[in-house]
Structure 1
Amino acid sequence: MSINDRYFMLCYTERIHEFAKIDEYKKWTVGTARTKYKTLDEFYQTELEINQKELIHLRTDFKRFNDLYSRYFNEQRKELFEKPKPFLEWYDKQKESCNYCGITQSELHTIVKLRDGKLTLNKKTKRSKGTLEIEKLNANLGYTFKNCVLSCPFCNNAKSNLISEDGWRAFFVPAMKEYFNSILNNDSK
């Protein structure tokens, strides 16, 4: 197994980001890792048999995947994150825009700015940053590359599991585009 594969396994499969996870991974008594290692970096260097500079280089190689993993990973979507390369290839095909209405990540951020720092009208934190979301095309199927797309929070929330993809595109996407244009042109909030 390559160092990259071993790093991926420790960081993303085993999710070792705290000493307790090291104890669990090594099957040690709780608290052992904290006495054995001064830092998590020391654990990674020892386990991977690399130095600090090599560890920094590994983290740099994984930075883009890590950013997307931090933004999108949850247990339901676990299958999408099994390997970095296929996930990044899938993500790049999404073009950082909503699969339905076409609004871009940049335009969503503009809406957040126009709404005084929140995407939502009621100032609740969920979806407040205006980040594109991973949406299942068919709600009855799992989170797979063939069944998932990026979607804006508006389309994802409104379509939910209530409206088919075809129905959403035919009846609601034109109205969503008109709505976004009115916000972006500062006609309404």
Structure 2
Amino acid sequence: MNRKNFNNDTFIKLHSFSQLTYDEIEKAMNISRAEVQKLYKSCKNEISYMQGIRNKFNKKRFLKEFMFKDFNEFYDWYESQPKSCCYCGITQEDALETKVYDNLTRKTRGKSLEIERVVTFPKEKNLYTYKNCRLACHVCNNAKSDFIDVEDFKFIAKGINDFWSKKLNRKIDLPTEVYDTFSLKKEKIDK
């Protein structure tokens, strides 16, 4: 790894994970304020991306159902997820391209994939955990809510998939992982 990449990676960890101030970063990296500012400018896109993930973390972290121990664990989970809806397969970029969300009155939703708890009942299984969470589009997350199980929702997701495919004038692949992993029939067989 070259020096520039090392400095960028170190800066991002200190800034975005440890959330150190510029003064603290200067001391930790033994560099000047001008060098810290230069690193910030060169890492601005990565920092903005990570801030979006941190915002998702911060919105949920005080909920009693939220079981991620810290931002690092949540970030690892987020990065491990496909960047498409676990139910219908739409990517965030494709969803935004359709302009469907332009008329939402609540502008805080629909701009990015949302954190979805797949198993929502019984209540004790309705948790934000590494195994139970996936990313979902606003439409699927709203439609599934907390009262439709994965197997039943698959029929609805196929309709939502058709909706997105028509809006984009191309077929979107329906994902299978969430249905294979969380099938109630499979759970009964495994018991």
Same fold (TM over 0.5): yes
Paired residue secondary structure (1:126): coil
Alignment of 1:1-189 (within 5 A): 10-11=18-19, 40-42=21-23, 45=26, 48=28, 50-51=30-31, 52=33, 53=35, 57=39, 60=43, 63=47, 64-74=49-59, 75=61, 76=63, 79-80=67-68, 82-84=70-72, 86-112=73-99, 115=100, 119=101, 121-129=103-111, 131-139=112-120, 140=123, 141-169=126-154, 171-185=155-169
Q: Which amino acid aligns with 1:145?
A: Y
* Cα 1:147–1:128 shift into 2, 3 Å: closer
- Alpha-carbon distance in 1 for matches of 2:17, 2:162: 45
Q: Which amino acid aligns with 2:128?
A: Y
Paired residue secondary structure (1:146): coil
Unaligned runs of 5+ in 2: 1-9, 171-191
- Alpha-carbon distance in 2 for matches of 1:96, 1:121: 23
2:115/2:133 contact within 8 Å kept = yes
Paired residue secondary structure (2:134): strand
* Cα 1:55–1:177 shift into 2, 3 Å: same
> What is the aligned partner in structure 2 of residue 37 from structure 1?
none
Taking structure 1 as the reference length, what is the TM-score of the superposition?
Answer: 0.61
- Alpha-carbon distance in 2 for matches of 1:122, 1:106: 17
2:86/2:135 contact within 8 Å kept = yes
Paired residue secondary structure (2:98): helix
Report how many aligned residue pairs link the two structures. 149
Shift of 1:122: 4.7
- Across the aligned residues of Structure 1 and Structure 2, the Cα RMSD in angstroms comes to 3.6
Paired residue secondary structure (1:73): helix
Q: Which has the higher contact order (CA 8 A, sep 6+)?
A: 2
- Alpha-carbon distance in 1 for matches of 2:150, 2:38: 43
User: Identity of aligned pairs, percent?
Assistant: 23
